[in-house]
Structure 1
Amino acid sequence: MKSSQSLCRVLLATVTSVMVISGAHAADALKMELTANKMVKTKEGKVSYLPVRTAPAGSVIQYKATYTNTTNQNINDLAVTLPIPANMTFTGDAYPTSAQASTDGKNYADMPLMRKVNGKLVKVPLSEYKALRWNIKWLPANKSADVSLNTVVD
Protein backbone atom coordinates (compact mmCIF):
# COMPACT_ATOMS: atom_id res chain seq x y z
CA MET A 1 0.00 0.00 0.00
CA LYS A 2 1.13 3.54 -0.76
CA SER A 3 0.62 6.55 1.44
CA SER A 4 -1.46 9.17 -0.35
CA GLN A 5 0.31 11.91 1.59
CA SER A 6 3.65 10.74 0.21
CA LEU A 7 2.20 10.49 -3.30
CA CYS A 8 0.66 13.92 -2.93
CA ARG A 9 3.92 15.50 -1.68
CA VAL A 10 5.96 14.08 -4.57
CA LEU A 11 3.37 15.21 -7.08
CA LEU A 12 3.06 18.64 -5.46
CA ALA A 13 6.82 19.25 -5.66
CA THR A 14 6.85 18.23 -9.31
CA VAL A 15 3.78 20.29 -10.20
CA THR A 16 5.19 23.38 -8.56
CA SER A 17 8.48 23.03 -10.43
CA VAL A 18 6.93 22.61 -13.89
CA MET A 19 4.27 25.32 -13.72
CA VAL A 20 4.72 27.98 -16.43
CA ILE A 21 3.20 31.43 -16.01
CA SER A 22 3.28 34.43 -18.34
CA GLY A 23 4.16 37.73 -16.72
CA ALA A 24 6.78 38.53 -14.11
CA HIS A 25 4.29 39.21 -11.29
CA ALA A 26 2.23 36.08 -11.90
CA ALA A 27 4.49 33.64 -10.01
CA ASP A 28 3.72 35.42 -6.73
CA ALA A 29 0.07 35.87 -7.67
CA LEU A 30 -0.85 32.21 -8.10
CA LYS A 31 -1.66 29.83 -5.26
CA MET A 32 -1.97 26.09 -5.98
CA GLU A 33 -3.65 23.48 -3.79
CA LEU A 34 -3.31 19.79 -4.66
CA THR A 35 -5.58 17.04 -3.33
CA ALA A 36 -5.63 13.28 -3.82
CA ASN A 37 -8.97 11.50 -3.50
CA LYS A 38 -10.06 7.91 -3.96
CA MET A 39 -12.95 7.23 -6.34
CA VAL A 40 -15.78 5.33 -4.65
CA LYS A 41 -18.99 4.04 -6.26
CA THR A 42 -22.15 4.22 -4.17
CA LYS A 43 -24.84 1.53 -4.04
CA GLU A 44 -26.82 3.64 -6.50
CA GLY A 45 -23.92 3.54 -8.96
CA LYS A 46 -22.96 7.18 -8.46
CA VAL A 47 -19.29 8.16 -8.21
CA SER A 48 -17.89 10.21 -5.35
CA TYR A 49 -14.37 11.13 -4.34
CA LEU A 50 -13.20 10.73 -0.75
CA PRO A 51 -9.93 11.80 0.89
CA VAL A 52 -7.48 8.92 0.66
CA ARG A 53 -5.19 7.67 3.42
CA THR A 54 -3.84 4.57 1.67
CA ALA A 55 -4.03 3.50 -1.92
CA PRO A 56 -3.92 -0.27 -2.49
CA ALA A 57 -3.26 -1.61 -5.99
CA GLY A 58 -6.24 -1.14 -8.28
CA SER A 59 -7.55 1.97 -6.51
CA VAL A 60 -8.58 4.90 -8.68
CA ILE A 61 -7.03 8.11 -7.35
CA GLN A 62 -7.97 11.55 -8.61
CA TYR A 63 -5.35 14.29 -8.40
CA LYS A 64 -7.00 17.70 -8.42
CA ALA A 65 -5.10 20.98 -8.54
CA THR A 66 -6.88 24.26 -7.78
CA TYR A 67 -5.09 27.38 -9.02
CA THR A 68 -6.17 30.65 -7.39
CA ASN A 69 -5.27 34.09 -8.70
CA THR A 70 -4.62 36.00 -5.48
CA THR A 71 -4.30 39.43 -7.10
CA ASN A 72 -6.61 42.10 -8.48
CA GLN A 73 -5.22 41.53 -12.00
CA ASN A 74 -6.12 38.85 -14.52
CA ILE A 75 -3.54 36.21 -15.45
CA ASN A 76 -3.39 35.34 -19.15
CA ASP A 77 -1.98 32.28 -20.92
CA LEU A 78 -1.34 30.05 -17.92
CA ALA A 79 0.01 26.56 -18.66
CA VAL A 80 -0.22 24.04 -15.82
CA THR A 81 1.14 20.52 -15.80
CA LEU A 82 0.36 17.51 -13.61
CA PRO A 83 2.81 14.60 -13.82
CA ILE A 84 1.52 11.06 -13.50
CA PRO A 85 3.39 9.34 -10.64
CA ALA A 86 5.61 6.40 -11.58
CA ASN A 87 3.51 3.88 -9.63
CA MET A 88 0.25 5.03 -11.27
CA THR A 89 -1.39 4.58 -14.68
CA PHE A 90 -3.53 7.33 -16.23
CA THR A 91 -7.13 6.15 -16.78
CA GLY A 92 -7.87 8.52 -19.68
CA ASP A 93 -10.13 10.69 -17.51
CA ALA A 94 -9.10 14.34 -17.22
CA TYR A 95 -10.88 17.60 -16.47
CA PRO A 96 -11.11 19.79 -18.38
CA THR A 97 -11.04 17.41 -21.31
CA SER A 98 -8.90 19.88 -23.27
CA ALA A 99 -5.76 18.49 -21.59
CA GLN A 100 -2.81 17.52 -23.71
CA ALA A 101 -0.66 14.50 -22.85
CA SER A 102 3.01 13.61 -22.97
CA THR A 103 5.02 10.40 -22.87
CA ASP A 104 8.25 12.22 -21.98
CA GLY A 105 7.15 15.27 -19.96
CA LYS A 106 8.47 17.62 -22.68
CA ASN A 107 6.42 17.15 -25.85
CA TYR A 108 2.64 17.49 -25.58
CA ALA A 109 -0.16 16.68 -28.02
CA ASP A 110 -3.94 16.31 -28.02
CA MET A 111 -5.35 13.05 -26.66
CA PRO A 112 -5.46 10.30 -27.56
CA LEU A 113 -1.74 10.24 -28.33
CA MET A 114 -0.96 8.42 -31.58
CA ARG A 115 2.17 6.85 -33.12
CA LYS A 116 3.06 4.87 -36.21
CA VAL A 117 3.57 1.13 -35.85
CA ASN A 118 4.33 -0.83 -39.03
CA GLY A 119 3.10 2.11 -41.11
CA LYS A 120 -0.24 2.37 -39.29
CA LEU A 121 -1.35 5.00 -36.74
CA VAL A 122 -2.19 3.40 -33.39
CA LYS A 123 -3.10 4.81 -29.99
CA VAL A 124 -0.31 5.09 -27.44
CA PRO A 125 -1.19 2.96 -24.39
CA LEU A 126 -2.34 5.04 -21.40
CA SER A 127 0.35 3.32 -19.33
CA GLU A 128 2.94 5.32 -21.31
CA TYR A 129 1.43 8.73 -20.48
CA LYS A 130 3.78 10.61 -18.11
CA ALA A 131 2.09 14.03 -17.70
CA LEU A 132 -0.92 16.15 -18.68
CA ARG A 133 -0.93 19.86 -19.45
CA TRP A 134 -3.78 22.36 -19.57
CA ASN A 135 -3.68 25.84 -21.10
CA ILE A 136 -5.78 28.27 -19.10
CA LYS A 137 -6.26 31.25 -21.39
CA TRP A 138 -7.60 33.57 -18.72
CA LEU A 139 -7.76 33.36 -14.92
CA PRO A 140 -9.69 36.36 -13.60
CA ALA A 141 -8.54 38.33 -10.58
CA ASN A 142 -9.35 36.60 -7.25
CA LYS A 143 -10.84 33.54 -9.03
CA SER A 144 -9.84 29.86 -9.19
CA ALA A 145 -9.54 27.17 -11.86
CA ASP A 146 -9.45 23.40 -11.30
CA VAL A 147 -7.71 20.68 -13.29
CA SER A 148 -7.72 16.98 -12.48
CA LEU A 149 -6.69 13.58 -13.73
CA ASN A 150 -7.56 10.06 -12.63
CA THR A 151 -5.00 7.31 -12.12
CA VAL A 152 -4.98 3.68 -11.05
CA VAL A 153 -2.46 2.45 -8.48
CA ASP A 154 -0.25 -0.19 -10.11
Structure 2
Amino acid sequence: MKKSNQFANPFTAWSGHRLFHVVAGTLVGVMAVTQASAMLPTPEPALDSSSNMQSSINNSRSSVQAVNSKITASLISVDTSGQERLVPVDANTRLQTGNVLEYQGYFTNTNVDRVRKMTVTMSIPDQVELLGDVAPEFPYGSADGNTFARMPLRGKINNQLQDIPLKYYQAVRWDIEGVGLNDTVMVKYRARVK
Protein backbone atom coordinates (compact mmCIF):
# COMPACT_ATOMS: atom_id res chain seq x y z
CA MET A 1 0.00 0.00 0.00
CA LYS A 2 1.45 3.37 -1.03
CA LYS A 3 1.50 6.27 1.46
CA SER A 4 -0.79 9.14 0.51
CA ASN A 5 1.08 12.35 1.07
CA GLN A 6 -0.07 15.89 0.45
CA PHE A 7 3.53 17.08 1.06
CA ALA A 8 5.08 15.13 -1.84
CA ASN A 9 6.25 18.13 -3.90
CA PRO A 10 6.34 21.24 -1.69
CA PHE A 11 10.04 21.95 -2.18
CA THR A 12 12.44 22.61 -5.02
CA ALA A 13 13.85 19.47 -6.63
CA TRP A 14 17.41 18.52 -5.75
CA SER A 15 19.00 16.22 -8.23
CA GLY A 16 22.19 14.63 -6.93
CA HIS A 17 24.04 11.84 -8.72
CA ARG A 18 22.84 8.63 -7.05
CA LEU A 19 25.62 6.07 -6.86
CA PHE A 20 23.40 3.33 -5.53
CA HIS A 21 20.13 2.81 -3.76
CA VAL A 22 19.59 0.73 -0.66
CA VAL A 23 16.24 -0.40 0.56
CA ALA A 24 16.62 -0.55 4.31
CA GLY A 25 14.36 -3.49 4.96
CA THR A 26 10.80 -4.62 4.75
CA LEU A 27 8.41 -5.28 7.60
CA VAL A 28 5.50 -7.60 6.97
CA GLY A 29 1.92 -7.20 8.25
CA VAL A 30 -0.47 -4.50 9.37
CA MET A 31 -1.84 -6.01 12.57
CA ALA A 32 -0.87 -4.78 16.05
CA VAL A 33 1.77 -7.54 16.18
CA THR A 34 3.81 -8.15 13.05
CA GLN A 35 6.67 -10.44 12.11
CA ALA A 36 9.85 -8.86 10.75
CA SER A 37 11.24 -10.02 7.45
CA ALA A 38 14.95 -10.78 7.25
CA MET A 39 15.07 -9.61 3.61
CA LEU A 40 17.49 -6.72 3.17
CA PRO A 41 18.19 -6.11 -0.55
CA THR A 42 21.69 -5.62 -1.93
CA PRO A 43 22.49 -2.15 -3.32
CA GLU A 44 23.18 -1.50 -6.99
CA PRO A 45 26.89 -1.28 -7.94
CA ALA A 46 28.37 2.06 -6.94
CA LEU A 47 29.84 4.47 -9.44
CA ASP A 48 32.31 7.20 -8.55
CA SER A 49 31.60 9.97 -11.05
CA SER A 50 35.17 11.33 -11.16
CA SER A 51 36.88 7.97 -11.71
CA ASN A 52 34.11 6.85 -14.09
CA MET A 53 34.78 9.87 -16.28
CA GLN A 54 38.53 9.20 -16.27
CA SER A 55 38.07 5.53 -17.16
CA SER A 56 35.83 6.36 -20.09
CA ILE A 57 38.53 8.70 -21.37
CA ASN A 58 41.59 6.48 -20.94
CA ASN A 59 40.13 3.04 -20.09
CA SER A 60 42.71 2.66 -17.31
CA ARG A 61 40.18 1.89 -14.56
CA SER A 62 36.96 -0.05 -14.24
CA SER A 63 33.80 2.08 -14.34
CA VAL A 64 32.09 -0.01 -11.65
CA GLN A 65 33.28 0.74 -8.15
CA ALA A 66 33.56 -2.08 -5.63
CA VAL A 67 31.66 -1.26 -2.46
CA ASN A 68 30.57 -4.00 -0.07
CA SER A 69 27.40 -3.21 1.84
CA LYS A 70 25.55 -4.61 4.82
CA ILE A 71 22.18 -3.37 6.12
CA THR A 72 20.93 -4.25 9.59
CA ALA A 73 17.73 -3.59 11.50
CA SER A 74 17.69 -3.69 15.30
CA LEU A 75 14.90 -3.41 17.84
CA ILE A 76 15.60 -0.79 20.53
CA SER A 77 14.98 -2.17 24.01
CA VAL A 78 15.81 -0.89 27.49
CA ASP A 79 17.42 -3.20 30.04
CA THR A 80 16.72 -3.24 33.79
CA SER A 81 19.36 -0.56 34.44
CA GLY A 82 17.71 1.79 31.91
CA GLN A 83 20.40 1.35 29.24
CA GLU A 84 19.39 1.06 25.58
CA ARG A 85 20.15 -2.22 23.81
CA LEU A 86 20.04 -2.98 20.10
CA VAL A 87 18.53 -6.42 19.48
CA PRO A 88 19.07 -7.62 15.88
CA VAL A 89 15.83 -8.18 13.94
CA ASP A 90 15.51 -11.52 12.17
CA ALA A 91 12.72 -13.57 10.57
CA ASN A 92 11.51 -14.72 14.02
CA THR A 93 11.33 -11.24 15.61
CA ARG A 94 7.79 -10.23 16.55
CA LEU A 95 7.15 -6.51 16.38
CA GLN A 96 4.33 -4.48 17.88
CA THR A 97 2.94 -1.09 17.02
CA GLY A 98 5.13 1.51 18.73
CA ASN A 99 8.36 -0.55 18.67
CA VAL A 100 11.39 1.55 17.73
CA LEU A 101 13.87 0.18 15.19
CA GLU A 102 17.32 1.38 14.21
CA TYR A 103 18.42 0.77 10.62
CA GLN A 104 22.18 0.83 10.00
CA GLY A 105 23.97 0.64 6.66
CA TYR A 106 27.68 -0.27 6.50
CA PHE A 107 29.56 0.47 3.27
CA THR A 108 33.17 -0.70 2.75
CA ASN A 109 35.35 0.62 -0.09
CA THR A 110 37.06 -2.38 -1.72
CA ASN A 111 38.43 -0.43 -4.71
CA VAL A 112 42.11 -0.13 -5.56
CA ASP A 113 42.03 3.46 -4.28
CA ARG A 114 39.73 5.83 -2.39
CA VAL A 115 36.21 6.78 -3.49
CA ARG A 116 35.93 10.55 -3.71
CA LYS A 117 32.17 10.76 -3.27
CA MET A 118 29.64 8.07 -2.43
CA THR A 119 25.90 8.72 -2.26
CA VAL A 120 23.86 6.38 -0.07
CA THR A 121 20.04 6.32 -0.10
CA MET A 122 18.00 4.31 2.41
CA SER A 123 14.25 3.97 1.93
CA ILE A 124 11.84 4.07 4.85
CA PRO A 125 9.48 1.06 4.71
CA ASP A 126 5.74 1.81 4.56
CA GLN A 127 5.15 -0.01 7.87
CA VAL A 128 7.33 2.43 9.87
CA GLU A 129 7.67 6.21 10.26
CA LEU A 130 10.93 8.11 10.66
CA LEU A 131 11.70 9.28 14.21
CA GLY A 132 15.08 10.86 13.61
CA ASP A 133 18.46 10.00 15.17
CA VAL A 134 19.81 10.25 11.63
CA ALA A 135 23.59 10.01 11.23
CA PRO A 136 25.85 11.30 9.85
CA GLU A 137 24.59 14.85 10.19
CA PHE A 138 23.24 16.99 7.35
CA PRO A 139 21.38 14.32 5.35
CA TYR A 140 18.91 14.87 2.55
CA GLY A 141 15.31 13.73 2.96
CA SER A 142 12.47 12.92 0.59
CA ALA A 143 8.71 12.99 1.10
CA ASP A 144 8.06 11.27 -2.24
CA GLY A 145 11.04 8.90 -2.54
CA ASN A 146 12.38 10.71 -5.63
CA THR A 147 13.01 14.38 -4.84
CA PHE A 148 15.61 15.13 -2.15
CA ALA A 149 16.44 18.31 -0.20
CA ARG A 150 18.40 19.08 2.97
CA MET A 151 16.62 18.03 6.15
CA PRO A 152 14.44 19.27 7.69
CA LEU A 153 12.11 19.40 4.70
CA ARG A 154 9.89 22.47 4.55
CA GLY A 155 6.60 23.00 2.80
CA LYS A 156 3.44 25.07 2.85
CA ILE A 157 0.87 23.74 5.28
CA ASN A 158 -2.31 25.84 5.57
CA ASN A 159 -0.56 28.55 3.54
CA GLN A 160 2.31 28.74 6.05
CA LEU A 161 5.88 27.57 5.43
CA GLN A 162 6.81 25.01 8.10
CA ASP A 163 8.72 21.78 8.69
CA ILE A 164 7.16 18.67 7.15
CA PRO A 165 6.57 16.07 9.91
CA LEU A 166 9.07 13.16 9.87
CA LYS A 167 6.23 10.65 9.50
CA TYR A 168 5.85 11.76 5.85
CA TYR A 169 9.48 11.05 4.90
CA GLN A 170 10.01 8.10 2.53
CA ALA A 171 13.81 8.08 2.17
CA VAL A 172 17.03 9.54 3.58
CA ARG A 173 20.21 10.20 1.56
CA TRP A 174 23.81 11.02 2.49
CA ASP A 175 26.76 12.25 0.40
CA ILE A 176 29.89 10.70 1.90
CA GLU A 177 33.23 12.18 0.84
CA GLY A 178 36.69 10.57 0.72
CA VAL A 179 36.19 6.90 1.61
CA GLY A 180 39.67 5.36 1.82
CA LEU A 181 40.71 1.89 0.71
CA ASN A 182 39.07 -0.72 3.00
CA ASP A 183 37.43 2.05 5.05
CA THR A 184 33.88 1.42 6.25
CA VAL A 185 31.30 4.17 6.71
CA MET A 186 28.06 3.77 8.64
CA VAL A 187 24.74 5.55 8.16
CA LYS A 188 21.66 5.13 10.35
CA TYR A 189 18.18 6.27 11.24
CA ARG A 190 15.48 5.32 13.72
CA ALA A 191 11.84 4.59 12.93
CA ARG A 192 8.68 3.56 14.82
CA VAL A 193 6.45 0.64 13.77
CA LYS A 194 2.99 1.97 12.85
- Tell me how far apart the structure 1 counterparts of residues 115 and 170 of structure 2 sit (CA, whole Å): 27
Runs of 4+ in 1 over 6 A off after TM superposition: none
Other-structure match for 2:147: 107
User: What runs of 5+ residues in structure 2 fail to find an aligned partner?
Assistant: 1-32, 53-61
Other-structure match for 2:83: 46
Task: Give CA deviations for 1:58-107 in whole Å, capped at 9, x if unaligned.
Answer: 11111101000113310111100000001110002211122111011111
- Tell me how far apart the structure 2 counterparts of residues 95 and 65 of structure 1 sit (CA, whole Å): 10
SS in 1 for 2:112: coil
TM score, norm. by length of structure 2: 0.69
**Equivalent residue in structure 2 for 1:29, among 66, 70, 76:** 66
Structure number with the higher helix fraction is: 1
Other-structure match for 2:35: 3
Deviation at 1:119, TM superposition (A): 3.2
TM score, norm. by length of structure 1: 0.86
> Pairwise mapping of residues 70-85 of structure 1 onto structure 2 (< 5 A)?
70-85=110-125
- Tell me how far apart the structure 1 counterparts of residues 133 and 107 of structure 2 sit (CA, whole Å): 19
User: What runs of 5+ residues in structure 1 fail to find an aligned partner?
Assistant: none
Deviation at 1:16, TM superposition (A): 1.5
- Tell me how far apart the structure 2 counterparts of residues 116 and 27 of structure 1 sit (CA, whole Å): 41
Deviation at 1:44, TM superposition (A): 3.1
* CA RMSD in angstroms, aligned pairs only: 1.9
- Tell me how far apart the structure 1 counterparts of residues 105 and 157 of structure 2 sit (CA, whole Å): 35
- Relative contact order higher in (CA < 8 Å, ≥ 6 apart): 1
**Equivalent residue in structure 2 for 1:16, among 18, 36, 43:** 43
Identity score, percent? 28
- Tell me how far apart the structure 1 counterparts of residues 172 and 123 of structure 2 sit (CA, whole Å): 6
SS in 2 for 1:79: strand
Deviation at 1:26, TM superposition (A): 6.6
- Tell me how far apart the structure 2 counterparts of residues 137 and 116 of structure 1 sit (CA, whole Å): 33
Relative to 1, partners in 2 of residues 1:82 and 1:59: Cα closer, same or farther, differing over 3 Å? same
- The code of the aligned residue for 1:2 comes to T
- The code of the aligned residue for 2:78 comes to K
Other-structure match for 2:29: none
Deviation at 1:48, TM superposition (A): 2.1
Deviation at 1:42, TM superposition (A): 2.6
| Cα contact 2:129–2:192 (8 A) shared by 1 | yes
- The code of the aligned residue for 1:16 comes to P
